[in-house]
Amino acid sequence: MAWYAARRLLQMIPVFIGATLLIYAMVFLLPADPIAALGGDRGLPPAVADQLRAQYHLNQPFIVQYGFYLKGLLTGNLGTSFTQRPVADMLAQAFPTTLKLASMTLVIEAVAGIGVGLWAGIRKGGIFDATFLVISLILIAVPIFVIGFAGQVLFGVKLGWVPPTVGANVNFKTLLLPAFVLATASFAYILRLTRTTVVENRNADHVRTATAKGLKPGRVISVHVLRNSLIPVVTYLGTDVGALLGGAVVTEGIFNIPGVGNLLFTAIKRHEAPTIVSVTVFLVMVYLISNLIVDLLYAVLDPRIRYA
């Protein structure tokens, strides 16, 4: 397993170089002059603009700029934004918020999705099953910003149960509604996935054998159906962890949450190349590492998996 983990970590190097180069090139090719935009309508004095261009190596060819950027990354310098704030500082501020939101979302979607999916799978074809199949279809079909705004209006404004926006006030209570909104789509997928695998596993030969041993129905479900059914669900959750940690641009926008998604969105609007590239690369790495962790955890659930 150590060899497997080492190989996966080594595989990250080319991914890292590829991702930075690609993103850097895309930002470089954006048809806008960030320095000119910095001055607003009046424009910067030419001397100041030139100085800024030199500071950010904007007057050099692309590959040289990229080289400077890589050098910075390797020395732990993620660069500074055009507003002179270090990107690392901004990430350090935004990432914990995203982490909180992501973990709340993950717990909600996993618990609700697996719970409802299990019950629907056991009572396949019943009222409960049919109801949640329709609900999940709606949740998948409706775009997240509609659910977000509807939730905000209903629970935040009309009923006043939770604050409608988060702002600087990041805590469990303010993040609760955004987490539920963010969880809806994945909840629907997890529900359906769990239901399908539970139905499949309930008909498995080894489950019939377990019943024939004289086990009570509850134990057959919890020991022989649930654990086997969770294997594909965990795979899905693994990719979802990466996606959630990457920040939720839309949801963070609706509820004004100062997370990574918001940071990235603002940087793109301002054409801040160093910020965009650094944040994106950071997210790529978070995605790869969280996937590796999930893959390793997988073996805990399924002993057949050999890491080779």
Partner 1 sequence: MTTNTTENTVSTAAPLLEVKDLEVAFKTQQGEVKAVRGVDLTVYPGQSVAIVGESGSGKSTTAHAVINLLPGTGKITGGSIKFDGRELVGAGAKDIIDLRGKEIGLVPQDPMSNLNPVWRIGFQIKEALTANGVDTKQRRQKLTDALVEIETTPSGDDLYLGHEGKKALITALGNAGVDEAAVAAADKALQVGSTTRAQAAGILESAGLKDAEAVAAEHVTGASATDRVAGLLAEAGLGDAERRARQYPHEFSGGMRQRALIAMGLAARPKLLIADEPTSALDVTVQKKILDHLEGLTSELGTAVLFITHDLGLAAERAEHLVVMYKGKVVESGPSRQILKAPQHPYTQRLVAAAPSLTSRRIQSAHAAGIETDELLASHADSGAQKRGDNVVEVKNLTKVFRIRGSRPGTGTDFTAVDDISFGLPRGTTLALVGESGSGKSTAANMVLGLLQPTAGVVEFDGQDITKLRGRKAFQFRRRIQPVFQNPYGSLDPMFSIYRTVEEPLRIHRVGDAKAREKRVRELLDMVALPASMMRRFPNELSGGQRQRIAIARALALNPEVIVLDEAVSALDVLVQAQVLTLLNDLQAELGLSYLFITHDLAVVRQIADKVCVMQNGKIVEQGPTDQIFDTPSQDYTRELLAAIPGASLEIGPEVPAV
Instruction: Give the tokens for residue 161.
Output: 């149960």
Beta bridge partners of 86: 80
Q: Work out which of 49, 215, 249, 292 binds partner 1, going by CB under 8 A.
A: 215
Residue 271 CA to residue 57 CA, distance in Å, equals: 15
For residue 228, state whether it binds partner 1 (rule: CB under 8 A).
yes
Residue 78 CA to residue 278 CA, distance in Å, equals: 6
- Smallest separation (angstroms) from partner 1 to the CB of 290: 23
Judged by beta carbon, residue 71 or residue 123, the one nearer partner 1 is 123
For residue 299, state whether it binds partner 1 (rule: CB under 8 A).
no
DSSP string covering 135-165: HHHHHHHS-HHHHHHHHIIIIIIIS-SS-S-
Is 177:223 a contact under the CB 8 Å cutoff? no
Residue 49 CA to residue 72 CA, distance in Å, equals: 22
For residue 304, state whether it binds partner 1 (rule: CB under 8 A).
yes
Q: Work out which of 204, 234, 249, 292 binds partner 1, going by CB under 8 A.
A: 204
Is 194:233 a contact under the CB 8 Å cutoff? yes
**Sign (positive or negative) of CA dihedral 237, 276, 79, 85:** negative
Q: By CB under 8 A, which span of 27-35, 178-186, 202-210, 263-271 interacts with partner 1?
A: 202-210
- Smallest separation (angstroms) from partner 1 to the CB of 135: 24
For residue 218, state whether it binds partner 1 (rule: CB under 8 A).
no
Q: Name the nearest CA neighbour of 244 among 99, 66, 123.
A: 99
Lay out the site mask for partner 1 across 144-183 (x = CB under 8 A, - = otherwise). ----------------------------------------
For residue 211, state whether it binds partner 1 (rule: CB under 8 A).
yes
Instruction: Give the tokens for residue 71.
Output: 């050098």
For residue 13, state whether it binds partner 1 (rule: CB under 8 A).
no
Judged by beta carbon, residue 2 or residue 29, the one nearer partner 1 is 2
Is 302:231 a contact under the CB 8 Å cutoff? yes
Instruction: Give the tokens for residue 199.
Output: 């139905």
| CB-CB neighbours of 152 under 10 Å | 20
Q: By CB under 8 A, which span of 54-62, 217-225, 244-252, 285-293 interacts with partner 1?
A: 217-225
Q: Work out which of 169, 222, 227, 297 binds partner 1, going by CB under 8 A.
A: 227
For residue 224, state whether it binds partner 1 (rule: CB under 8 A).
yes
For residue 302, state whether it binds partner 1 (rule: CB under 8 A).
yes
- Smallest separation (angstroms) from partner 1 to the CB of 123: 11
Q: Which spans of this chain sit near partner 1 (rule: CB under 8 A)?
A: 3, 203-217, 219, 223-224, 227-228, 231, 301-304, 306-308
